[in-house]
Amino acid sequence: MTRAPRYTATIAALPATVPFTGPETLERASGRAFAARLGANESVFGPSPRVIEAIAAAGPEAWMYGDPEGHDLRTALARHHTLMAENIVLGAGIDGLLGTLVRLLVAPGDPIVTSAGAYPTFAYHVAANGGALRTVPYAGDAENPDALVAAARETGAKLVYIANPDNPMGSWHSAAVMQQMISALPEDCMLALDEAYIDLAPAGAAPLFDVADPRVLRLRTFSKAHGLAGLRIGYAIGAPATIRMFDRIRDHFGVGRLAQTAALAALQDVEWLHQVKAHVTASRAELSDIARKNGLTPLPSATNFVTMDCGGDGTFARAVLAGLLARGIFARMPSVPPLDRCIRVSCGGTEENALFAAALQDTLAELRNTDVT
């Protein structure tokens, strides 16, 4: 008799995949470290010095679990957004919150809608719960709110996911467009509005908070502008009834003590956030200039990365990406045509961007010499 765990049929049928291959995995495979880490949209500008001080001060308390209610941070976030603490739930980054949201809503066979090529972790969670994922194409280089709503109506979807600003293309919609999408949603369909990059977006990209509408859950993170990707801390904003549903199944000790302390300090250091936004703006301009000088087309970005059209198809863009990786530059690219004609480069400082520029120039020269165009 063969001994084996009795996995669910859904999990047993899934391929052994992960949404992203981490830079550490690639470094182990190549046997050397990357010279510039520009693929995961982390903030190379780091956390606020006040955050580092707060983490150091709280270090001796790391033996204790974090507050399962996240009282201090939720209270500060509520004050920051002029909401109630009952409108906010903490989680291990947006990825962790998406996992909980999908567990709340998705049963095997349930129709769910997203964009083809959008942030893949959402689809990863839906697959793990056996949901029937329906995807719609981008409209140019942006997600298509009208098409997403139409697909939700056609399929009877329980959940729709959109990111604004968008990853992987860096595009964004105005608050008016997003509000029109919310208004057009079916009455029994929830919108997961991923606002991971909203701190870096132009004014007017975020609709006003309407926490009376239970169909909308807005997801935010301290991983990007605040530079806390390594601590995994994010939060969701929604109607109190929705937040109470999270409390039924969330990991109540999933956000550690140091993460809560760091996020609270980051939220309070407004000046540092302004500095990071200025650094990102300058870096986007620098990366865009590098792209143009090398014959690539930078796409407009409201994020901390620049997506660059390589001017060919996915095969050529993958060759460009491989050349960058071989030269010690960690970058990534969209996975679905026609988005995969591009590469995506996170905003670095002057040194990282210079390393990218040199590697890109050498890569393109090599590809042209070998007629890979």
Stretch 300-329: mean pLDDT: 97
Is 90 exceeded by the pLDDT of residue 33? yes
Stretch 339-368: mean pLDDT: 97
Query: Average per-residue pLDDT in the chain?
Result: 96
Q: Are 88 and 239 in contact (CB under 8 A)?
A: no
Is 70 exceeded by the pLDDT of residue 79? yes
Q: Classify 19 in phi/psi space as left (phi over 0), alpha (psi -120 to 50) or beta.
A: alpha
Share above pLDDT 70 across residues of the chain, in percent, rounded to a whole number: 99
Strands 297-298 and 305-309: antiparallel
Please give the Cα distance from 324 to 346 (Å, whole number). 13
Q: Are 360 and 298 in contact (CB under 8 A)?
A: no
Q: Residue 372: its pLDDT value, please?
A: 65
Q: Which residue do the tokens 């929705």 mark?
A: 242
Q: Residue 272: its pLDDT value, please?
A: 98
Sheet holding 216-221, edge to edge: 88-91, 234-237, 216-221, 190-194, 159-163, 111-115, 132-136
What confidence tier does 138 reach under pLDDT thresholds 50, 70, 90? Answer: very high
Q: Are 43 and 357 in contact (CB under 8 A)?
A: no
Q: Residue 273: its pLDDT value, please?
A: 98
Q: Residue 147: its pLDDT value, please?
A: 98
Is 70 exceeded by the pLDDT of residue 361? yes
**Distant-in-sequence, close-in-space partners of 15: CB < 8 Å, separation ≥ 6:** none
Paired residues of 344 in beta bridges: 307, 332
Q: Range with the lowest mean pLDDT among 81-85, 207-211, 290-294, 349-353?
A: 207-211
Is 80 exceeded by the pLDDT of residue 1? no
Q: What is the DSSP string of 68-135?
A: TT-HHHHHHHHHHHT--GGGEEEESHHHHHHHHHHHHH--TT-EEEEETTS-HHHHHHHHHTT-EEEE
Q: What would the pLDDT profile of 221-233 be if each residue is shown by its tens digit?
A: 999 999 999 999 9
Q: CA distances (Å), 169 to each of 160, 289, 346, in order?
A: 19, 17, 12
Is 80 exceeded by the pLDDT of residue 243? yes
Please report the domains of the chain, with CATH numbers, ordered by start residue: 21-41+271-369 (3.90.1150.10), 49-268 (3.40.640.10)
Q: At 162, is the secondary structure helix, strand, or coil? A: strand
What confidence tier does 42 reach under pLDDT thresholds 50, 70, 90? Answer: very high
Q: Residue 275: its pLDDT value, please?
A: 98
Q: What is the DSSP string of 163-210?
A: ESS-TTT-----HHHHHHHHHHS-TT-EEEEE-TTGGGSPTT-SPPP-
Q: Residue 126: its pLDDT value, please?
A: 97
Q: What would the pLDDT profile of 275-284 be if each residue is shown by its tens digit?
A: 999 999 999 9
Is 90 exceeded by the pLDDT of residue 116? yes
Q: What is the DSSP string of 278-347?
A: HHHHHHHHHHHHHHHHTT-EEPP-SSSEEEEE-SS-HHHHHHHHHHHHHTTEE-B---STTGGGEEEEE-
Q: Residue 20: its pLDDT value, please?
A: 86
Is 70 exceeded by the pLDDT of residue 373? no
